[in-house]
Chains A and B, each alone.
Chain A
């Protein structure tokens, strides 16, 4: 009962803040509304007895949204709080598509005869998950690790403003790299 109430409260928070992301006209509020939505979903995953994953979701998403807010402020050409304007396109199509998606998905969720539960959860779920990652599903995690490294490299290559010519001079003969003490943030 208590869990049911908590679930629906979190559900309302998650969806309401999710909507708020595209309604509020402040960059910071939009970003942190999304963070609250993620925290609510993390709470729901905790209610579904997945302690580790619920907490990891909250941890990662709060971190991401803190960084996201910086990008929002950096890249939004104008401040919608100061200059209210509609920064959207194809609104009708988008609303149609999203309502359609909701009807199909929710209808499917309600109409599909879901099978009965198979087996029960292990006693110490976190421990079991750890064993699983390091045992049967190790290949999955190893691949995820490689993908993460590739992402870091690709992200830096795409985003870095300094090329090797900035670092080593026009004929690549310059020793060392200037500006390294600034963390490579500037040319």
Chain B
């Protein structure tokens, strides 16, 4: 287990998540892609921390990443619920007025 190994695995997770976030049509599946990307970032941060500078203040970054993940989930679910309530849909393609 080296820093390089951890980072390669983390970038693989990030890349898989990116594929999901870009290609999926259903809002909840897009969120799963985002989660997977943050999963990779979390692993990379853990690796950097352990292999480069293992002092406790660095771990706070991981806590912030976890917090960002929960905020993303909560807001994502809220918007998905709103979208469903207003449009009876769960597809990103049908919520495009921001792109016009």
A107-161 residues with Cβ-Cβ distance < 8 A to B are 108-110, 114-115, 117-122, 125, 128-129, 131-133, 136-137, 140-141, 144, 147-148, 151-152, 154-159, 161
Q: Does A87 contact B (CB under 8 A)?
A: yes
Does A151 contact B75, Cβ atoms closer than 8 Å? yes
A121 to B49 CA separation, bound complex (whole angstroms): 10
Q: Assess whether B24 is in contact with A22, with CB atoms less than 8 Å apart.
A: yes
CB pairs A–B below 8 angstroms (9 shown): A48-B49, A52-B59, A105-B11, A106-B7, A109-B10, A132-B59, A133-B60, A148-B71, A155-B77
Known interface pairs A71-B77, A94-B23; A18-B13 also in contact (CB < 8 Å)? yes
Chain A contacts of B79 at CB under 8 A? 158
Q: How large is the interface on A (under 10, 10 to 19, 20 to 34, 35 or more residues)?
A: 35 or more
B interface size (C-beta, 8 A): 71
Task: Compute how far the CA of A85 lies from the CA of B74 in the bound complex, rounded to whole angstroms.
Answer: 28
- Which A residues are CB-close (under 8 A) to B84? 74-75
A residues whose Cβ falls under 8 Å from a Cβ of B: 3-4, 7-8, 11, 14-15, 18-19, 21-22, 30-31, 34, 37-38, 41, 44-45, 47-50, 52-53, 56-57, 60, 64, 67-68, 71-72, 74-77, 87-91, 93-95, 97-99, 101-102, 105-106, 108-110, 114-115, 117-122, 125, 128-129, 131-133, 136-137, 140-141, 144, 147-148, 151-152, 154-159, 161
